[in-house]
Amino acid sequence: MPDAPYIVGVDIGGTKVACVLADGEGRIVARQWQPTRSAEGWQVVVGQLFEMTERVLQGVSPQLVRGIGISCGGPLDSQAGIVYSPPNLPGWEAVPIKSLFEERFGLPTRLENDANATALAEYRFGAGRGSRNMVFMTWGTGIGGGLVLDGRLYRGTNDLAGEIGHTTVLLDGPLCGCGKRGCLEALASGPSIARRARELAGESPDSLVWQKSSPEGVTAQHVVEAAQEGDLFARYVLAEAATYMGIGIANVAQILNPERVVLGTIAVKAGELVLEPLRRALAVHAWQRVRQVLQVVPAELGDRAQDLAAVCLWLED
Ligand SMILES: [Zn+2]
């Protein structure tokens, strides 16, 4: 459908919902956003999405629209187009979002989990540009992943490919939100960095971290800031998390042999403070021939990623 230049991108987040109209080159021509009224139930949120979609489509003939892309936190079934109660969207038990949009707008609609959709955006427009095999990893509240292999998104059998955050990197390690022990996410995510700082607070009473926050209120952001100001304790906590991240990436690299690993928020904010220890762990745990073709880099799109992620679902082909 090369003669249908426009794409609608819908981003469903726990705090914010957004809708854009983009052209076939990914340029955003209209944008709407609202705080997510998630407490009022899924019907209200879908109503918000419909209203914003109508606004960005105002004056645009449906024949000029290739399709609607929807990016949402999982778990979800991308084929059937159904969202199954993501942790940030309470009450979304089996919401058939794809068919709801198709019935309402008469436009073909695709649904994808947000990590996969963001992977496509970084692959096409961001730090993954020019690579053929790319692993994208969110690195913030959670550690999610998206795999673009030979230029195509790899979803796995039931949309669970790329869940790198829940690979085991420490036997009998801390309990993860998923119920297992020793997951990468339980050792290297933002909340895990905060927990580790709290655990070690008694050994580091003079750290800058404790001038920024009490142990109860500490976040990864406090640790990153203190590390940037030269605080050795904060640097130690970050390096420990980054070491586990390096082990996780080494495992993925040994399996997939990618040329690019693109890392989200914490790598973007902390830069070399995490990338340096991460590369050292990678050097220990991945073969030299695997490493010699691999670049580990921070994501580039920042806030633009959310706008482009859902749009990319119609740029893939
Ligand atoms: Zn887990």
CATH number at residue 96: 3.30.420.40
Distance CA 277, CA 151 (A): 29
DSSP 248-295: HHHHHHHHH--SEEEE-HHHHHHTHHHHHHHHHHHHHHS-HHHHTT-E
Distance CA 265, CA 249 (A): 16
For residue 231, being part of any structural domain is answered with yes
In this structure, the answer to whether residues 51 and 110 fall within a common structural domain is: yes
Task: Flag whether pLDDT at 88 surpasses 90.
Answer: no
Q: How many domains does the chain have?
A: 2
CA of 196 to the centre of ligand 1 (A): 17
pLDDT digits (tens, 9 = 90+) for 4-54: 899 999 999 989 999 999 998 999 999 999 999 999 999 999 999 999 999
In this structure, the answer to whether residues 72 and 28 fall within a common structural domain is: yes
CA of 163 to the centre of ligand 1 (A): 9
pLDDT digits (tens, 9 = 90+) for 93-135: 999 999 999 999 999 999 999 999 999 999 999 999 999 999 9
CA of 161 to the centre of ligand 1 (A): 14
CA of 113 to the centre of ligand 1 (A): 17
Query: Domain limits at 138?
Result: 129-298
Helix (H, G, I), strand (E, B) or coil at 188: helix
**190: CB partners within 8 A, 6+ apart:** 139, 140, 141, 219, 220, 221, 265, 266
For residue 1, being part of any structural domain is answered with no
For residue 317, being part of any structural domain is answered with no
Which carries the bigger pLDDT value, residue 206 or residue 74? Answer: 206
CA of 245 to the centre of ligand 1 (A): 14
CA of 243 to the centre of ligand 1 (A): 17
pLDDT digits (tens, 9 = 90+) for 130-162: 999 999 999 999 999 999 999 999 999 998 999
pLDDT digits (tens, 9 = 90+) for 228-262: 999 999 999 999 999 999 999 999 999 999 999 99
CA of 189 to the centre of ligand 1 (A): 11
The pLDDT value given to residue 1: 47
Where does the pLDDT of residue 317 fall: very low under 50, low under 70, confident under 90, or very high at 90 and above? Answer: low
Helix (H, G, I), strand (E, B) or coil at 72: strand
CA of 109 to the centre of ligand 1 (A): 31
Where does the pLDDT of residue 291 fall: very low under 50, low under 70, confident under 90, or very high at 90 and above? Answer: very high
CA of 170 to the centre of ligand 1 (A): 12
CA of 167 to the centre of ligand 1 (A): 7
CA of 178 to the centre of ligand 1 (A): 4
What pTM was computed for the model? 0.93
In this structure, the answer to whether residues 200 and 165 fall within a common structural domain is: yes
In this structure, the answer to whether residues 72 and 214 fall within a common structural domain is: no
pLDDT digits (tens, 9 = 90+) for 172-228: 999 999 999 999 999 999 999 999 999 999 999 999 999 999 999 999 999 999 999
In this structure, the answer to whether residues 37 and 114 fall within a common structural domain is: yes
Which carries the bigger pLDDT value, residue 263 or residue 89? Answer: 263
CA of 185 to the centre of ligand 1 (A): 6
